Amino acid sequence: MNEPVIFDTLRQGLWVATLIATPILAAALITGVAVGLFQALTSIQEMTLTFVPKLAAIVVVFWISMSFMSATLVEFFQAEIVPLIAGS
């Protein structure tokens, strides 16, 4: 196995990781902005108010997007990693 194959596989792996993390990070960002706006408008500065809704949103989005994440990882491994291991 030569260096270009390793770097290309690494690049594709990083892209798959980005695709998988995007829904969760987007949910955390949107929830954080909404809670921050709510806190700024009401002058409530409670730390658990930022943590609990963000955690709940992340869990819900993770549960909804688990099939997408699993399918993306399985497709990447079957298309890229297994052929490299098998040597074809």
Expressed in angstroms, the distance from the first to the final Cα of the chain is 11
The predicted-structure confidence for 62-85, as pLDDT tens digits, reads as follows 999 999 999 999 999 999 999 998
The predicted-structure confidence for 3-40, as pLDDT tens digits, reads as follows 888 999 999 999 999 999 999 999 999 999 999 999 98
Residues whose CB is less than 8 angstroms from the CB of residue 12 and which lie 6 or more positions away in sequence, other chains included: 76, 80
How far, CA to CA in Å, does 54 sit from each of 1, 18, 27, 70, 73?
Answer: 43, 20, 8, 23, 25
CB 7 within 8 A of CB 33: no
pTM of the model: 0.81
Domain limits of the chain? 3-86
